[in-house]
Amino acid sequence: MLPVTTALIATSVAMFLLQSVAPGAFVGLALWPLGEGAGFGPWQLITYGFLHGSLLHLAFNMFALYMFGSAIERVFGGRRYLIYYLVCVVSAAITQLVFASVSGVVYPTVGASGGVFGLLLAYAKYFPNNRIMLLFPPIPMPARVFVALYAVLELFLGVSGAEGGVAHFAHLGGLVGGFLLLHYWRGAGSRGRSMR
């Protein structure tokens, strides 16, 4: 496993273990809606992405981070990969804050899912034909199809409210943030080549 992916997973696992010992100490690190609960702080735009609500939540996100993050770290290199991941985490947080303000949602948000969804998008871009096997049902499909279907499902669940307690719009925010950063990097690279 590559160093940045290893560090991200190790940090999330360590934070989960610390949460288990002293849960109240981490309330201010979750992403709170503006003006609610423990109060919003700008650091929460990143710190919420290293907290998880349950062992299953942590395990699912860390498995996805290992599977997709390792491949993307190889493509981007450590520094650019870390920037990309954190941009996706922050864009997911901003999307969640906007949604919370519009909908009146008052619960805090935790989890690396926004960053993971950004990694899924990058994986679909750089490895579009790689097969991803769904768990339920066990159907293999190309990465680009998997990510497109997953995005549509997240949008449906977010709009319909069919699965409460899950920050579906934050997931979509991670996708959008990843898309915008990849688009920006692509444009910057094109401009750099044209000037030489």
pLDDT digits (tens, 9 = 90+) for 146-175: 889 888 888 888 777 666 678 888 999 999
Please state the pTM of the whole predicted model. 0.90
The answer to whether the beta carbons of residues 142 and 131 sit under 8 Å apart is: yes
Q: What is the mean pLDDT of the chain?
A: 88
| Single-letter amino acid, residue 113 | S
| Single-letter amino acid, residue 72 | I
175's CB contacts (< 8 A; 6+ apart) are: 88, 117, 118, 120, 121, 147, 151
- Average pLDDT of the segment spanning 9-16: 97
Residue 20 annotated among the catalytic residues of the structure: no
Q: Which of 171, 183, 190, 194 is catalytic?
A: 171
pLDDT at 48 over 50: yes
pLDDT at 131 over 50: yes
Domain that holds residue 140: 3-195
Residue 196 confidence (pLDDT): 42
Residue 23 confidence (pLDDT): 79
Residue 184 has phi, psi (to 5 degrees) of -65, -45
- Choose between 108 and 35: higher pLDDT: 108
d(CA 76, CA 38): 37
Domain count for the chain? 1
Which structure tokens are listed for 115?
A: 């960053």
- Choose between 45 and 101: higher pLDDT: 45
Half-sphere exposure for 103 (CA within 13 Å, toward CB): 17
Residue 113 annotated among the catalytic residues of the structure: yes
pLDDT at 107 over 90: no
The answer to whether the beta carbons of residues 123 and 72 sit under 8 Å apart is: yes
Q: What pLDDT band is residue 192 in, cutting at 50, 70 and 90?
A: low
Q: What pLDDT band is residue 1 in, cutting at 50, 70 and 90?
A: low
Q: Of 73, 74, 98, nearest to 85 (Cα)? A: 73
Tell me which long-range contacts 22-28 makes (C-beta under 8 A, separation of at least 24): 26/51, 27/108
Q: CATH number of the domain that 143 lies in?
A: 1.20.1540.10
Q: Which of 52, 91, 113, 168 is catalytic?
A: 113
